Homo-oligomer: A and B are copies of this chain.
Amino acid sequence: MANYRLTIAYDGSRYNGWQKQGNTDKTIQGKIEAVINAYEGADGSIEINGAGRTDAGVHAKGQIANVQLSKSGCANRLREYLNEYLPEDIRILQVEEVAERFHARLSAKGKHYRYSICNSPVSADVFGRKYEEYIKDKLDVDRMREATEYFLGEHDFSSFCSNKHMKKSKVRTITKIDISVLGDKLEIDFYGDGFLYNMVRIMTGTLIEVGLGKRNPSDMRGILEAKDRQAAGATAAAKGLCLMEVYY
């Protein structure tokens, strides 16, 4: 057996997210597993582990997965085979043979997500429209930056999690949040040890409300303390979110 690590980029627009569902056809994981099983001549028994279960419509430039295959030494051939048979909105950027203990999700130490916004009074950008949220009213970026300070460090992020039934710890550590502005484009970069279901999108939706003057930066403290999803803002649209990198 040999363990392979895959670096994957995808345009999530057409998919029901990363994680395989009964019908594998409309998920990224399902598409990749189908091609890997064909490559191995397997009957569907080969499964891949993804680092992050991106939601429907969310994109990735650096998703990581690993897969156990029968033979070693076929990293480049596997990458070329995958890129030949996968749809053009899923691309395998790299395949490397790694130690047997490497597991894309369990070994991950941190992740970098980016949320992209087009903040123009005129219109959305036709070339970015599938990859960024459009907001017509002017965002006050200084207020948004001030609000991000409250998220840094270790907190219980229950207020920023859509899954009520999750019983595991909702404590996560956010190490950095950068908001960069170029013309009418905003990029919010989130770095942390892990993110709960919808966490980045709810943080972004809340930051947008701060930027629009509907909430104050200092409200973030109370929202975190409430440990209640209802206390936070709306969940920002999936299409603006992209998994940029996974750290090991």
Contact = CB atoms under 8 A, between A and B. Distances in A.
A230 interface: no
Interface string A1-33: 000000001110000000000000000000000
Contacts of A181: none
Contact of A122 (B10, B94, B131): B94
A198 interface: no
Contacts of A92: 122-123
Contacts of A42: none
Contacts of A127: 9, 11, 59, 61, 131
A128 to B, nearest CB: 9
A64 interface: no
Given A94-B122, A122-B94, A129 B83 contact: no
Contacts of A83: 122-123
A31 to B, nearest CB: 13
A154 interface: no
Interface residues of A, number: 22
A126 interface: yes
A125 B127 CA distance: 14
A90 B127 CA distance: 10
Interface of A: 9-11, 59, 61, 79, 83, 88-94, 122-127, 129, 131
A91 B59 contact: no
A123 B89 contact: no
A9 B125 contact: yes
A125 to B, nearest CB: 7
B10 A89 contact: no
Contacts of A59: 126-127
Nearest to A93: B122
Contact of A91 (B61, B89, B124): B124
Interface centre among A10, A91, A123, A126 (most CB of B within 10 A): A126
Contacts of A131: 127
14 contacts: A9-B126, A9-B127, A10-B126, A11-B126, A59-B127, A83-B122, A88-B129, A89-B126, A91-B122, A91-B124, A91-B126, A92-B122, A93-B123, A94-B122
